[in-house]
Amino acid sequence: AQRVTQPEKLLSVFKGAPVELKCNYSYSGSPELFWYVQYSRQRLQLLLRHISRESIKGFTADLNKGETSFHLKKPFAQEEDSAMYYCALSNSGGSNYKLTFGKGTLLTVNP
Amino acid sequence: EAGVAQSPRYKIIEKRQSVAFWCNPISGHATLYWYQQILGQGPKLLIQFQNNGVVDDSQLPKDRFSAERLKGVDSTLKIQPAKLEDSAVYLCASSLGGVTGELFFGEGSRLTVL
């Protein structure tokens, strides 16, 4: 079974401070990990995926297979980063592509 | 590019009544998903279609929930009879399929069961 754990329901930081949203996973195969984000009054959307090794809006995430983690980081948080963030795990099963989501972390960046 | 369309946006019903939600995916997307998101939780997959065939419905409460995707395009999700615990946002998503990982979500249909 695949499982995603986001230990923090709420995270509050000040503008300019570093931010780290934690994500741990459980999966017996080779995982593919993603971060999805939902801004206020907007749809849930993809932020980044580990296979792309990209930085989106200043965010990065590194897959650590030893610690089974995929934490999302940004060195200097901005107010517009305030949103709900979901870590997600895929079974990478070809056409049977299925995403399992964590419960989410609500990030608030204070001015 | 038009996004995933869902209707209705909001629905309030009494327990034991029935309700149906409709989803129109992005044109050309073969895979369609219905997720249930209860307040304070992440989205939970209910059913996944590949074209008009069901790929995964292992978490769909089949005694009361049903879904179909006729002609491999639009989809409907029905609940009959509804229970209080069905109060949630029902999210429809679509993707091209394969291992790209990007699901495109609709705005969701918020159901309140009284």
Do A49 and B105 lie within an 8 Å CB cutoff?
A: no
**What is chain B's Cα-based Rg?**
13
The burial of A90, by beta-carbon neighbours within 10 Å (0-12 exposed, 13-18 middle, 19 or more buried), is given as buried
Length of chain A: 111
Residue B109 CB burial class (10 angstroms; 0-12, 13-18, ≥19): buried
- The total number of structural domains that make up chain B: 1
In the three-class reduction of DSSP (H, G, I as helix; E, B as strand; rest coil), residue B85 is classed as: helix
Q: Which tens digit of pLDDT belongs to each residue from A23-78?
A: 999 988 788 899 999 999 999 999 998 877 788 899 999 899 899 999 999 999 99
Q: How many domains does chain A have?
A: 1
Interface check for B112 against chain A (CB to CB < 8 A): the answer is: no
In CATH, what number is assigned to the domain containing residue B39?
A: 2.60.40.10
State the pLDDT at residue A92: 63
pLDDT > 60? residue B92? yes
Q: Which domain holds residue B80?
A: 5-113
What pLDDT, in 10s, does the model give residues B54-87? 988 999 999 999 999 988 899 999 999 999 999 9
For residue A8, what are its two tokens? 């923090």
Q: Which residues in chain B have Cβ-Cβ distances shorter than 8 Å to A105?
A: none
Is B58 near chain A, with CB under 8 Å?
no
The dihedral region occupied by B71, where left means phi > 0, alpha psi between -120 and 50, and beta the remainder, is: left
Domain that includes residue A26, residue range? 3-110
Contact at CB, B43 and A92, closer than 8 angstroms: no
| CATH, residue A37 | 2.60.40.10
